Amino acid sequence: MSARTGRGAGQPLRIAQVAPPLEAVPPIGYGGTERIVGELVRELDRRGHQVTTFASGDSRVPGRHVETVPLALRPIGFGDDPTSSFRRTVELVLEQQEDFDLIHAHLDPWNLELARRARIPVVSTFHGRLDQSWAGDAFRDGVRGLVAISRDQARVHPEADWTVIYHGVTFRPPPLPEASGEDFCFVGRMSPEKGFPDAIEIARLTGRRLLVAAKIPTRQIEIDYYDAIIRPALDRADVTILGELSEADRDRLVASSRASLVPSAWPEPFGLVVIEALACGTPVLARRAGAIPEILRDGIDGFIGDDAQQLAFLDGRLDELDRGAIQAAALERFAVGRMVDAYEALYRRLLDA
């Protein structure tokens, strides 16, 4: 039993879940971090914990909700430095920390400030890359409760005491189609790190149509990249840009596709689009980068290659794969219950320490 809280194993905890102010919880469109926060909040609340969610005012969550900004910043086109909004989030949590047994933060760099200043245990999940300038020596001072979402993400800072917990999601996939479609799909951002030009090249090399569910660029740097790099590439292949779809429409698109293309060259810390495709029974053609080899079973769930040419060649082997088996394994491996089991165990360890 925890000396501080008097809450033994199986007893409900008072938990603060702290989301970034960038997207609502859950996100209206696509927001990976906020989607995971939403999954955690719902499942922890269902299990009887007292959950307080620090998030934007347009969030819709069970339990108590503390507004950090009136509206999520990214959908309203907020283009300034969000530092002040992150700082306000941290201060709001610290002001109310006596109301909680522990804090679970999802603020990436700001996790560490919160963990150092809080008087109660803090679980810090990092959703982004850790090979960044802010992370230099940040993990050398023995901060506890650090969570990486893949082994590949954690290996960048082996000096830290990591717990690796894969994401879990509540899947509502449409029925498996009787036969795979003929088109490829791409879900994500039309940005350099996501490899969108390579997805276009794969479509060109295979002669297949590429259907794109992606956020339309809003920031000037994204617009400039689109105009300079993507727009010329669109003329070389059959590409249809559908914009940002609802979860249900996105899943129908993915389920009806021959494969989901994930040609990202940057070290993806996890890859929600991969497990979402697998849950629809759709194979994935992905570049060998980041955590992809951890979550995508090469030759079973799809194929991993090193460049657009190799991935285009592997299109010819997609018919070898069992879409039903792909879906069944994904629904088990990445179930939200498994993720929350792991977090509950970590919460108890920190409180009992």
Q: Tell me what pLDDT residue 7 has.
A: 57
pLDDT at 198 over 80: yes
Q: Which two tokens stand for residue 61?
A: 């969550």
- Of the chain, the percentage scoring pLDDT greater than 90 comes to 71
Range name among 76-90, 100-114, 287-301 with the lowest pLDDT average: 76-90
Determine the 3-state secondary structure of 53 from DSSP: strand
184-333 domain in CATH 3.40.50.2000?
yes
Residue 137 class from Cβ within 10 Å (0-12 exposed, 13-18 middle, 19+ buried)? Answer: exposed
User: Residue 311 pLDDT more than 70?
Assistant: yes
Q: Three-state SS for 171?
A: coil
Whether residue 17 has pLDDT greater than 60: yes
* Mean pLDDT of the region 237-244: 85
Q: Residue 91: pLDDT above 60?
A: yes
What's the pTM? 0.90
pLDDT classification of 1: cutoffs 50, 70, 90: very low
pLDDT of residue 217: 65
pLDDT beyond 70 at 316:
yes
Can 14-168+335-352 and 184-333 be said to share one CATH topology?
Answer: yes
Residue 5: pLDDT over 70: no
| Tokens read off for 17 | 């879940």
Share of the chain above pLDDT 70, in %: 96
Question: Of all residues in the chain, what percent are helix, strand and coil, respectively (each to 5)?
Answer: 40, 15, 45
Sheet containing strand 239-241, strands side by side: 239-241, 210-215, 184-189, 259-262, 284-287, 302-305
Helix (H) or strand (E) segment spanning residue 169 = none
* CATH superfamily to which 14-168+335-352 belongs: Glycogen Phosphorylase B; (3.40.50.2000)
Identify the H or E element spanning 122: strand 122-126
Q: Can you give the residue ranges of every domain in the chain?
A: 14-168+335-352, 184-333
pLDDT tens profile 199-230: 999 999 999 999 999 876 666 777 777 777 77
Note the Cα 92 to chain centre separation in Å: 25
Could you report the per-residue pLDDT of 29-73, keeping only the tens digit for each? Answer: 777 899 999 999 999 999 999 999 999 999 999 999 999 999 999
Q: What is the mean pLDDT of the chain?
A: 91
pLDDT digits (tens, 9 = 90+) for 119-149: 999 999 999 999 888 888 888 888 899 999 9
pLDDT, mean of residues 318-347: 97
Long-range contacts, stretch 43-51, CB < 8 angstroms, 24+ apart: 43/336, 43/337, 43/340, 44/15, 44/17, 44/340, 44/344, 47/12, 47/340, 47/344, 48/12, 49/12, 49/13, 49/14, 49/15, 50/12, 50/13, 50/14, 50/15, 51/15, 51/16, 51/17
Contact 212, 239 (CB under 8 A): yes
What pLDDT is recorded for position 320?
95
Q: How far apart are CA 167 and CA 64, in angstroms?
A: 23
pLDDT score, position 239? 87
pLDDT of 3 reads 40
Describe the strand order of the beta sheet including 14-18 as a list of residue ranges.
Answer: 64-67, 50-55, 14-18, 102-105, 122-126, 146-148, 162-164
For residue 95, the tally of other CB atoms under 10 A from its CB is 10
Residue 62: asked if its preceding bond is cis (omega within 30°), the reply is no
Residue 215, Cβ density class (10 Å: 0-12 exposed, 13-18 middle, ≥19 buried): middle
Q: What is the pLDDT of residue 9?
A: 62
Residue 2, pLDDT score: 42
